Structures are given as C-alpha cells and as structure tokens.
Amino acid sequence: MEQATQKKVMISGIQPSGDLHLGNYLGPLRHWPAMIEEFDCYFFLADLHTITVRQDPAMLRRRTLEQLASYIACGLDPEKCVLFVQSHVPAHSQLAWVLDCYTMFGELSRMTQFKDKSAKHADNINAGLFTYPALMAADILLYQPDFVPVGEDQKQHVEICRDIANRFNNIYGEVFKVPEPYIAKVGARIMSLNAPESKMSKSMPEGCVFLMEKPEDIMRKFKRAVTDSDTERCVRYAPAEKPGVSNLIQIYAAATGKSYEEVEREFDGQGYGKFKPAVGEAIVETLRPIREEAQRLLTDKTYLESVYRAGAEKADYVANKTLRKVYKKVGFVAR
C-alpha cells in the first residue's frame, strides 16, 4: 500500500498488568478500529513497563497473550496495523538508556504517577519506576509518530516525551519528530458499578466488568449496580446528583449507540428494576462476540505467534532506523 506511508502515524501501548475491562473497551479500545483506517497505527503490549511493580510471571505471560487476542477480537486487524510485544523489539530498551541520559532527575521527580506509585509500593521504589517516562519516550520517539492517543493520566508522560525530544533535537538537529498527545473526542469515562464516584478499575472487581467475563457474572454485577438514593427513582442523566444511574445511562448509550435522551425516553416511568438488567443484557451482547473470538484465537497459538512475530519484524525495522540515527548522532562507532 503506497498510500499508507502518507498517513499520519500513531502509536499507543497498553500495559498487560490487568485484565481488560469495560472501561478500557468503551473508553479508548472501541475507537481504535476506526483509527487504523485513518492512521498508520502501532499498538504494543507494554510488558517492559509492567515490571516496575512486581508481576507474577505466569500471569504476565497469560495476560500478554490474552490481551493480544482481545485486541484482535475488538477489531484491530493485524493486517492493517502493527501489533507487537514491547520486549520483542530491543530498540525500546536501547533507546531508553540513551534517553535516560537526556532526562533530568528533577523532571522525573515531578511526575505524578511516580509519586502515586511510590506511595503505593513503598517497599519497592525501584529505579525503573523512576525512569519509566524515559522508556515511554523511547517507545514513542522510535516510531516518529504524529500522535499519541492517551488517557488523561498519561498526558504528563507525553509532555515529558516532548521535552526530551526537543532537548535532544536542540543538541543534535532534527532527529525526533515531536508528537502531539491525542485525546479522544468521544472518550467515555466509565465509573465503577458499585462505587460510581470512582473510575471503573480492576482493583475493585465487584464494580468492574471484564471483557472475558461470563454472561451470568456480568448480569449479576449490573443487577447489583448502585443506583441513587434520590426519591424520584427515574432514569435521568444527571451526573452530579445521580452518579450511579448516569453511569448506567452512559454505558447503555455507548453499547447501543443511542443518545442519553433516547435512553431516558426508552425507560421513562419504568424505575431501576427494569433498567439495570437491560443495561446488563446490552453489555453481555456487546461483549459476547469479542469474548468468543478472543477465546477462539487463544486456542490458536500458531496464529497468535505469527501475528506477534510479524508485528515485531515491522516494528524492529522502523525502530532500528531511528536508533541507528541516534547512535550516530551521540558518537557511537557503527558496528
């Protein structure tokens, strides 16, 4: 495809440190299939990043493959984008070291995620946790992308990536393209089903619906979803007064493509008893084909292997071009 080279380039990574859930899906993931039509996309499983906190090795391996299968099942066609595993492309680690030397102690100390994570894992404040933004900058800059789609929580890391790129370019000339963060226009922010003031998160599994979960478990979670203790008991979108119901409306709207007003009208006068299982069913049906396809792919190890090998090969090629340039600029003797 000659034309493909003229498309804007985009890269994003997801850490295989937890099982994918509805928040991941209705937030970023659902929009990726459309993006691969518009951009030259690279998506990778950021396994190098996960070991900044302790991981169970067998679990990490399982999740990496499961997420790869889930991405494909969600519509990321490996023929149309580059899907790979970060640790398969050594240039990430290699460029990260170089960038470590162009990243300042002070700026790393200011990263909110470092402050949060070191408070949470006080017994394991390792150097990787601290220099993580330099690895993330390497992940990005290797591919000379125009955009980096990220959630709000990663914006600061894209900012520091830009600072590092500019600093390097100011010394050595235009080596790196300086990318823009890409914040999705339609980024649904899905809240926990049993604590709607917090974001849906794998750390609160009862309020979280996982992509691979069985329909009966999904239904149970929706039936138990917290609604609001106001007296009107009607399905009305009002996030401040009715966070639980509004979250369910948002989920139902995202799953069915209906507007909030249409959802309100559909359940007008029906109370929560009817509404909650209806949302559950809509989600069960949305996730069913994804789960079934992911499970099918997981039994086809040969296929999955062929996908990540081909992805690593394509990624390697592009990444090494940038790495060679960097090595040359800093004065390493070419092998």
Point out the residues that are catalytic: 117, 199, 202
Locate 240 and state its tokens: 């401040």
Least distance in Å: CB of 140 to ligand TRP? 5
**Which residue's Cβ has the minimum distance to ligand TRP?**
13
Please, which residue, 46 or 249, has the CB nearer to ligand TRP? 46
Question: Under a CB-based contact definition with an 8 Å cutoff, are residues 274 and 267 in contact?
Answer: yes
Please, which residue, 11 or 278, has the CB nearer to ligand TRP? 11
Residue 67, strand partner residues? none
Least distance in Å: CB of 158 to ligand TRP? 7
Least distance in Å: CB of 152 to ligand TRP? 11
SS3 326: helix
Please, which residue, 140 or 190, has the CB nearer to ligand TRP? 140
CA distance 144 to 229: 51
HSE-CB of 96 using CA atoms within 13 angstroms: 19
CA distance 139 to 135: 6
CA distance 287 to 294: 10
Please, which residue, 140 or 282, has the CB nearer to ligand TRP? 140
Sign of the four-CA dihedral 174, 46, 183, 2:
positive
Please, which residue, 15 or 286, has the CB nearer to ligand TRP? 15
Question: Under a CB-based contact definition with an 8 Å cutoff, are residues 311 and 82 in contact?
Answer: yes
Residue from 203, 298, 207 nearest 247 by CA: 207
Positions touching ligand TRP (CB under 6 A) are 11-13, 15, 46, 49, 136, 139-140, 148, 150, 154, 157
Which residue type does 148 have?
V
Please, which residue, 154 or 192, has the CB nearer to ligand TRP? 154
Q: Using the structure block, give the residue that is written with the tokens 């092998």.
A: 335
Residues with Cβ within 8 Å of residue 179, at least 6 apart in sequence = 140, 141, 145, 146, 147, 148, 158, 161, 162, 165
Q: Using the structure block, give the residue that is written with the tokens 């040359």.
A: 328
Least distance in Å: CB of 145 to ligand TRP? 9
Please, which residue, 117 or 236, has the CB nearer to ligand TRP? 117
Least distance in Å: CB of 15 to ligand TRP? 5
Least distance in Å: CB of 48 to ligand TRP? 8
Q: Using the structure block, give the residue that is written with the tokens 């590092």.
A: 164
Sheet holding 147-149, edge to edge: 82-85, 40-45, 9-14, 147-149, 180-182
Least distance in Å: CB of 58 to ligand TRP? 22
Which residue type does 317 have?
Y
CA distance 5 to 292: 34
